[in-house]
Amino acid sequence: MTNVFAADPTIAPAWAELASLRDSSRTVTVRDLLDADPARCDKLAVAAAGISLDISRQRVDSHILDALQSLAVQQRVPEHRDAMLAGEHVNTTEDRAVLHTALRLPPGSSLITGGRDVAADVAEVLGRMSSWAQDVRTGEWRGSTGERITDIVNIGIGGSDLGPAMAYLALRHYSDRAINCHFVSNVDPTDLTEVLRPLDPATTLFIIASKTFTTQETMTNASAARDWLVGAHGEAAVSRHFVAVSTNSELVTAFGIDLANMFGFWDWVGGRYSMESAIGLSTMVAIGPEHFRSMLDGFHAMDVHFATADPSENLPVLMGLVAVWNRDFLDIPTTAVLPYSQYLSRFPAYLQQLTMESNGKGVRADGSPSSCPTGAIVWGEPGTNGQHSFYQLLHQGMSTVACDVIAVARTPNPLGRQQDMLVANALAQASVLARGRTADEVRADGTPEELVAHKVMPGNRPTSVLMIEELNPYTLGALVALYEHSVFVQGAVWGINSFDQWGVELGKKVALGILDAIETGRPTAISDPASARSIERYLALR
């Protein structure tokens, strides 16, 4: 497979320059950089679409940033971006366009690709979603017994779960409190059982969200949910209590869902890039079509910024290039995402799929092995909770973790001093992570000598601070698009295909063989002896 975008970044001239800049700046700390240039904090802060990004606490200077920008040019990141936005098949291993940006084009847009106006297709589905969501919200759409819908259960997994689940929490302030959304993803029977336990089938509506409509967990949970409903209200109830979101109309029909109740999307929407497609149907019911449109507008504002802003002021470009610097030159394998917002508590989980399913790859798009480390391990928890858990390692552990601290300036829930306390904690952590505390400073606090070493904070942890004006549908869209495009920039620099996910397939296949061995009681049918022994143990214990 040939791919002009799969060039090895380590042979780009800028790579050698960056390696030499890394070597010559080894002893320069973030504290040194901050103290040497009072203007740094203004120079290294950029803003777009209600979000500011401050990279002044990263271990970069202007030479490093220039060389990173050269690397992006040498790796043809702008050409790759334009190819993606134009609908070229940049997902080469699946021979697909990658057009999630088309999902959030303004109303009335047109984007012709493959002979179709995909923007018109998007508008048509959005229109159907809006009128259906509005019907559910107003009570026009009722269950089979004539009662109003009070609970929506989204059954999906991966991209068909994480985005809607994250957005439902993030935009709770904007949601209709008369309708509760629930998210079932795990094939663990406990997930569905516990969600359904308090619910009434007469007032519950299921959204079966699956791009392929073949995913084992989703289809198994969907069947069980169907049995639950049919057991209470009979087959005839299915059409009032089940809708589908999928690209696979044949399997949706086979499941028994009327195509009138199916909301489609397209193979050019990757699962982890789909929360603003019909996969966001539960989000739309929760927040209403107008707020959903505002979310799309926020996505689009960041898309336009990514496509047009000068690279030196381009948030996704800077964020992506800093990530490459941290991963490949500072040898930092992991990034903690630390949102100081309870509303963003599922954002790290959402980003794990977005980033790690996209860039957790060891071969470039042409199949050749990557000669440099690629996607970082991403994880996190909201602040301030994480401070009382894993921050000890962030501050004094032997592994350096890069951090994204996300703060929100305005809260819809003012309560005494709490919002200021929250932001103060976010900024304090960013400061300590970046600057640390020297032995002399610890001594100056009057610390007994035997404790000095324990209280020294190395600092020098590369940290970005994102400040969101207010968390609303618009800025949430912009925030997600920022990370999407940062992931894109990283993948483009590394020459990998950020839009396939072959690494998840084998496990699914092996699970089917093991399930068969379990169900037929024949562990020895499995050739892997460790698995066969584990199956025996399981059969003996279950």
For residue 31, give both structure tokens: 């504290």
Site for ligand F6P in 237-276 (CB under 6 A): 271-272
Give dist(CA 248, CA 242) in Å, integer.
16
Q: Which of 64, 119, 157, 349 binds ligand F6P (CB under 6 A)?
A: 157
Return d(Cα 475, Cα 307) in angstroms, integer.
18
Which one, 267 or 297, has the nearer CB to ligand F6P? 267
Is 357 among the residues known to form the active site?
yes
Residues 6 or more apart from 54 whose CB is under 8 A from it?
A: 41, 44, 45, 464, 465, 466, 467
- Does 314 sit near ligand F6P (CB under 6 A)? no
- The whole-angstrom separation of Cα 172 and Cα 170 is 6
Of 203 and 249, which has the nearer Cβ to ligand F6P? 249
CB of 240 to ligand F6P, least distance (A): 24
**Residues 170-189 within binding reach of ligand F6P (CB under 6 A):** none
Q: Closest CB to ligand F6P belongs to which residue?
A: 271
Q: Tell me 363's DSSP state.
A: B
Q: By CB under 6 A, which span of 2-10, 155-163, 226-234, 400-408 interacts with ligand F6P?
A: 155-163
Which residue out of 100, 182, 300, 357 is catalytically annotated? 357
Sheet hosting strand 204-209, strand order edge to edge: 180-184, 151-155, 204-209, 242-246, 262-264
Candidate residues 154, 175, 204, 215; the one interacting with ligand F6P per rule CB under 6 A: 215
Catalytic residue among 388, 450, 454, 519: 388
* 448-487: contacts with ligand F6P (CB under 6 A): none
Burial tier of 155 (Cβ tally within 10 Å: 0-12, 13-18, 19+)? buried
Helix (H, G, I), strand (E, B) or coil at 38: coil
- Which of 345, 357, 160 is CA-nearest to residue 269? 160
Dihedral sign of CA atoms 225, 230, 233, 235 in order: positive
Where does this chain touch ligand F6P (CB under 6 A) — which range of 108-116, 158-166, 170-178, 400-408? 158-166
Angle at 33 (CA atoms; ends 28, 38), nearest 5 degrees: 160
From 212, 261, 345, 447, residue interacting with ligand F6P (rule: CB under 6 A): 212
d(C-alpha 97, C-alpha 503), whole Å: 20
The distance of closest approach from Cβ of residue 481 to ligand F6P in the complex, given in angstroms and rounded to an integer, is 18
Cα–Cα distance, 23 to 63 (Å, whole number): 13
Token pair of 423 as six digits: 């932001």
Options 143, 158, 360, 459; binder of ligand F6P; rule CB under 6 A: 158
Beta carbons within 10 angstroms of residue 138's beta carbon: 10
Among 59, 100, 137, 211, binds ligand F6P (CB under 6 A): 211
Residues with Cβ within 8 Å of residue 274, at least 6 apart in sequence: 100, 159, 160, 163, 211, 265, 280
Question: What three-state secondary structure class fits 456?
Answer: coil
Among 1, 41, 504, 525, binds ligand F6P (CB under 6 A): 504
Work out how close the CB of 246 gets to ligand F6P at its nearest, in angstroms, rounded to a whole number.
8
Question: Which residue is associated with the tokens 């968390």?
Answer: 471
CA distance 416 to 109: 45
Beta carbon of residue 359, minimum distance to ligand F6P (angstroms, whole number)? 13
Judged by CB under 6 A, the residue of 9, 50, 143, 159 near ligand F6P is 159
Per the annotation, the verdict on 361 as an active-site residue is no
Candidate ranges 76-84, 151-159, 359-367, 473-481; the one touching ligand F6P (CB under 6 A): 151-159
Whether 211 sits among the annotated catalytic residues: the reply is no
- State which residue, 111 or 278, has the beta carbon closest to ligand F6P: 278
The residue (of 365 and 466) whose beta carbon lies closer to ligand F6P is: 365
Q: How far is the CB of 217 from ligand F6P (least distance, A)?
A: 8
Least CB distance to ligand F6P at residue 161 (A): 8
- Give CA–CA dist 344/259, Å, rounded: 34
Given 69, 160, 294, 314, the residue binding ligand F6P (CB under 6 A): 160
Query: What is d(CA 123, CA 108) in angstroms, rounded to the nearest whole number?
Result: 8
CA–CA gap between residue 126 and residue 275 (Å, rounded): 13
Residue 472 vs 501, nearer CB to ligand F6P: 501
The three-state secondary structure class of 264 is: strand
Selected from 218, 283, 355, 387, the binder of ligand F6P by CB under 6 A is 218
Dist. CA 500–CA 361, nearest whole Å: 10
Identify which of residues 321 and 351 has a Cβ nearer to ligand F6P in the complex.
Answer: 351
| Minimum separation from the CB atom of position 165 to ligand F6P (A) | 12
210 contacts ligand F6P (rule: CB under 6 A): yes
Q: Least distance from C-beta 212 to ligand F6P, angstroms?
A: 3
Tell me the chain's radius of gyration from C-alpha atoms.
25
Cβ-contact 89, 95 below 8 angstroms = yes
Binding footprint of ligand F6P, residue count (CB under 6 A): 14
Angle, helices 189-196/216-233, rounded to nearest 10 degrees: 40
Q: Single out the segment in contact with ligand F6P by CB under 6 A; choices: 5-13, 83-91, 209-217, 340-348.
A: 209-217
Task: Select 101 or 501, whichever has its Cβ closest to ligand F6P.
Answer: 501
The encoded tokens of residue 424 equal 């103060």
By the rule CB under 6 A, 56 interacts with ligand F6P: no
Site string for ligand F6P, 343-382 (x = CB under 6 A): --------------x-------------------------
CB-CB contact of 210 with 218 (8 Å): yes
Smallest distance, ligand F6P to C-beta of residue 357, A:
6
Active site members: 357, 388, 508
Write out the residues near ligand F6P by the rule CB under 6 A. Answer: 157-160, 210-212, 215, 218, 271-272, 357, 501, 504
